[in-house]
A and B are shown apart, each in its own frame.
Chain A
Amino acid sequence: MRLEIGNFYVREIVFGDTLKFEQGILTINKEAALDFIREDERITEAELYIAKPGDDIRMCPVKEAVEPRVRPDGRSAFPGYVGELEQAGEGMTYALKGCSVLVVGRHWGGFQDGIVDMSGEGQKYTLFGELQNVVLVADTNEEFEKREQQKKNDALRRAGHRLAEFIAGCVKDLEPEEVENFDLEPIIKRAAEIEKLPSVVYVMQPQTQMEEMGYNTLAYGWDMNHMVPTYMHPNEVLDGAIISGSFMPVSSKWSTYDYQNCPNLKALYQEHGKSINFLGVIMSNLNVALEQKERAAIYVAQLAKSLGADGAIVAEEGYGNPDADFIGCYVALEDAGVKTVGVTNECTGRDGQSQPLVTLDEKCDAIVSCGNVSELIELPPMKVVLGELEALGRDGFSGGWADDEILGPSVRPDGSIIMENNSMFCGDRVCGWSTKTMKEF
C-alpha cells in the first residue's frame, strides 16, 4: 500500500476575502467558513480565531485538534466519519503542515477537555502551543450533556473535522511543496535483505472504554469498543481512518492530529529496511472488564506471532484502569517470545510517591515514559482567553477543581490557574512527540 502526502507548509494564517493558500500564507474567509460550520443545525454559536506561537492566548476547554487535509481525487479525508466510507491509506492526500484546527467549547467543558497556552510557561506543555492554529470556538444545542462531566462533544468534534477538510480545500488544485511517500510492501512479499532484519509490529491501544457509543475512538467511523484487535496498515492510521474519541483525561489523549502525524509510526517507518522489517500496526483497544482485556491481549499476541514479529511496541492512550490492558498486552507479547517496548505516561501523584502504573510486571523491562498526569502546574493569567476559563474549575476537568482547602480554586479571579497536568490538552504525547520523561528524585 502506497500513500503519498503532499505537504503545504503554513507559515501564517490570516482572515481575508477568499479562502486561499499563497506563498505559505493561508487566508480564510471567516464568514464563509462559519456558514459552512453552521450547516450542522446543532451549532448554536460559532466564531473563528487565529492563535499562533507567542500570542498571549489561553484556550479552554479544548476538545479536539485536526490537521487540515483534503484528497485531490475527491475521497473524504476522514472516510466513514464526516464523509463517505472509502479506503484510506492509499493514493494522494494533501496536508496543511505546521497548523491545526483546534475546537474549543464556547462555555462548557468536561473531563476529556483541556488547556492550550500559546506563550509563556504554559506553551511547552502542549504540541499545539507550537503550531499555527485556526481556533473554532462554538456552542451547541446538545442540552443532554451540557452539565455532564463526560461529553461526547459530537457536534463540535465533527465541526472540527469538517472545518479541517473545508480549509484544506484551497490547496486541492495546487502543487505541494513536497511529497512524503509511505510505501510498505505486503508482508509476505518483501525483499530478502529486508526479511533478514528483525520484524516489528506497532501495537496501538486507543481509548475505547465507554460502553455507551459516541465517546470512543473510531476506525472508519466504527466504534472501536466493538472490535477485537486487528491488523491495520500504518498508512490507514496516518490517513484519517482513525478519529480520536472524547473520553480520557486529556493529557493522555491522542487527537486526530496525533493519529495523522503519529511520530511513533513514522519513526518505525524510517527504520524500515535499515534496522527493522516494519510489519505494520496491530490495532488493539482498551477495555473495561478483565475478560475483555485478556481477550484483547490474546488476540494481539496471536497476531504478532502469526505475523512473525520479533519485536513489538505497545502504546496506550490513557492511564489508571487501562494500565491493566497495557501491562497485560506487554506480558502476553513477551510470553509469546516477542521482544517488547512500551510507551506510556505515569500517575505518580502530586507528591510523586504513588505507584506509577496501577499494575506492574517484571517482564515489562523496557518502557519509554512520557510524563506524570498528576504533576501540579501553576500558570500566570493570559490576556486573551478563547472559550471559558471557568470551565476548568467548574465542569469536572480531570486536572481542575472548583476549590481545594490548601491549593484554592483552579481558576483564580485574576485569571491565573493551578491545575494537574491531567488537563493539558494532549500534553503527554505518548504517540511519540513527548520530550518529557520521568526521573526518581
Chain B
Amino acid sequence: MKKAILYINQFFGQIGGEDKADFEPEIREGQVGPGIEFAKSLNAELTHTIICGDNFMGSNTEEAVKIILEMLEGKEMDLFIAGPAFQAGRYGVACGTICKAVKEKFGVPVVTSMNVENPGVEMFKKDMYILQGGNIASRMRKDVKAMVSLCNKILNEEEIGWAEKEGYFGRGVRKQIWLEEGTPASVRMVDMLLKKLNGESFETELPIPKLDRVPIADAIKDLKSARIALVTTGGIVPVDNPDRIQSASATRWGRYDIGVIEALKSGEYKTIHAGFDPAAADADPNVITPVDALQVLQKEGVYGSLHPFFYSTVGTGTTQAEAERMAREIVPYLKEDKVDGVIMVST
C-alpha cells in the first residue's frame, strides 16, 4: 500500500489554540485529528502526522520548513497532504509553504484545501492542487472528502481533470480537452450568441482576466517643495539581503535607510533579481535605484526633499495579488512621511 503524510496546525493537532500557536514542529506516528477522517477512505496508509504552530511557521518560516523537511527525510511517502485550512489565513499560508517545500525537495504530489478568501490561495494556487474548501471548520468532513477524492486519483495514477471539474483552484494552466458530449463549436457558438442576444447568462470558454487599471495620479503642482520617495521592483538590497527577499515570485520587501547616503555603493548594495543580468546593477546599484541623481537634483533645488528610505522588492514572477499586498504595506510609511510623489523604478 502506498504511504501518505499529513500536515496540520496546533489547533487541529489538539495541542491548543492561539496560546499554543508557537508550537514547534513535531512528527507523530499514525493519525491525529483530521488524519482519522482521511484514513477512512484514503487509498494509502497515513503513516505520520506533522503538527506545527501557525505562528511558528509564520515567524520562523525558514527554520520551520527546515525542521519539517529533516523529519521527512528517509520516510516512505507517495503523497503529502496539508490542512484543510478553511479560511484561517496563517494556517493556509503554512499549508501552502510546506506543501511547496515538500514538493520541491522530495518530488511527491501535494494536496491542500482552503477557502477562496484564504490569502494562501492566491499565493500558492499555481504551485499545487488547492481544493476549494469551506470557510469554517464545521465543513471538515466535506473538505476532507473532496481532498481524498483527488488524492485517490493521484495515488491511483488516474488522469486529473480540469479545475472546475475536480474542484481545485485553477493553476493558470490552460489545456485543450475533447468535450465528452462532442458538441461542435458551431453549436456552442449559436447557443452562446442566442443567450447573449436574449440577455441570458452565458459562459465564455475563454475568460478574459480582469484588468486592474490604476488611474494616473494628478501631476505634482510644485515640484520644488515636493517630497519624493524611491521604490523599486529591481531587487536592490544591502549585500546581505537582510529581509531575505526572494529572487523571483517575491512575497517580501525591504525598507532601507538612505538618509545620509550620497549614492548606493557597489559592494554595499546589489540586486537579487533573477530576471536580468545583474552585472550592471551590481557594479552601480544607482542605475536601478538612482539615489545619486536624486541627491544631486535635491541640492540643485529641482525638487524639495527625499524621503529617507528606499523600498525594494523583486518583480519577476511576482503575482499581481502579492504586489498589491506589498504596496498596501509600503504606502502607510509614505503617507506618514507626507510623500508627494514616488519614483517607481522597474527593470
Contacts and interface: CB of A to CB of B under 8 A. Distances in A.
A372 B178 contact: no
A440 B189 contact: no
A268 interface: yes
B90 to A, nearest CB: 28
Interface in A345-361: 346, 348, 351-353, 356-357, 360-361
Contacts of A351: 173
B211 A264 contact: no
Contacts of A368: 185, 188-189, 192, 205
Contact of B193 (A200, A360, A365, A441): A200
Given A263-B185, A360-B209, A439-B164, A371 B176 contact: yes
Interface in B86-135: none
A434 B184 contact: yes
Interface in A296-349: 310-311, 313, 339-344, 346, 348
Describe A's contact surface by its main secondary structure: mixed
A166 interface: no
A403 interface: no
Interface string A258-281: 000001101110010001100000
Contact of B177 (A271, A353, A367, A436): A436
Nearest to B188: A368
Nearest to B189: A368
A312 B208 CA distance: 19
B196 interface: yes
Interface in A408-441: 421, 429-430, 432-441
B190 interface: yes
Interface string B174-190: 11111100111111111
B197 A440 contact: no
B213 to A, nearest CB: 10
Contacts of A435: 178-179, 182-185
B189 A441 contact: no
A8 B317 CA distance: 58
A362 to B, nearest CB: 5
A372 B193 contact: no
Nearest to A202: B189
B335 interface: no
Nearest to B175: A352
Contact of A366 (B165, B193, B209): B193
A43 interface: no
A311 B205 contact: no
A33 interface: no
Nearest to B186: A432
Interface string B139-180: 000000000000000000000111111000011111111110
B202 interface: yes
A357 B192 CA distance: 20
Contact of B163 (A200, A276, A440): A440
B185 A339 contact: no
Contacts of B174: 346, 348, 352-353, 356, 372, 438-441
B185 A429 contact: yes
A55 interface: no
A146 interface: no
A276 B195 CA distance: 12
A310 B193 CA distance: 10
Contacts of B186: 263-264, 266-267, 432-433
Contacts of B182: 435
A23 to B, nearest CB: 30
Interface residues of B, number: 39
Contacts of B28: none
A438 B205 contact: yes
Interface residues of A, number: 53
B206 interface: yes
B202 to A, nearest CB: 6
A229 B162 CA distance: 39
Contact of A372 (B162, B175, B187, B204): B175
Contacts of A271: 190, 194
A140 interface: no
Contacts of B164: 439-440
B210 interface: yes
B112 to A, nearest CB: 17
A370 interface: yes
Given A367-B205, A432-B184, A264 B189 contact: yes
A375 interface: yes
Contacts of A275: 194
B208 A311 contact: no
Contacts of A82: none
A346 B194 contact: no
B176 A421 contact: yes
A364 interface: yes
A369 interface: yes
A276 B194 contact: yes
Nearest to A437: B205
A378 B189 CA distance: 30
A441 B160 contact: yes
A369 B160 contact: no
A275 B161 CA distance: 35
Nearest to B163: A440
B191 to A, nearest CB: 9
B173 A353 contact: yes
Contacts of B179: 435-437
A441 B185 contact: no
A198 interface: yes
A433 B190 CA distance: 13
Nearest to B205: A369
B185 A264 contact: yes
B189 A313 contact: yes
B313 to A, nearest CB: 22
A172 interface: no
A124 interface: yes
B185 A430 contact: yes
Given A356-B174, A362-B211, A439 B162 contact: yes
Interface of B: 160-165, 170-179, 182-190, 192-194, 196-198, 202, 204-206, 208-211
Given A348-B173, A353-B172, 17 more contacts: A268-B190, A313-B189, A352-B174, A356-B206, A357-B206, A366-B192, A368-B205, A375-B175, A375-B176, A434-B185, A436-B177, A438-B176, A439-B163, A440-B173, A441-B161, A441-B162, A441-B175
9 contacts: A200-B197, A263-B186, A267-B190, A276-B193, A372-B175, A435-B182, A438-B176, A439-B165, A441-B162
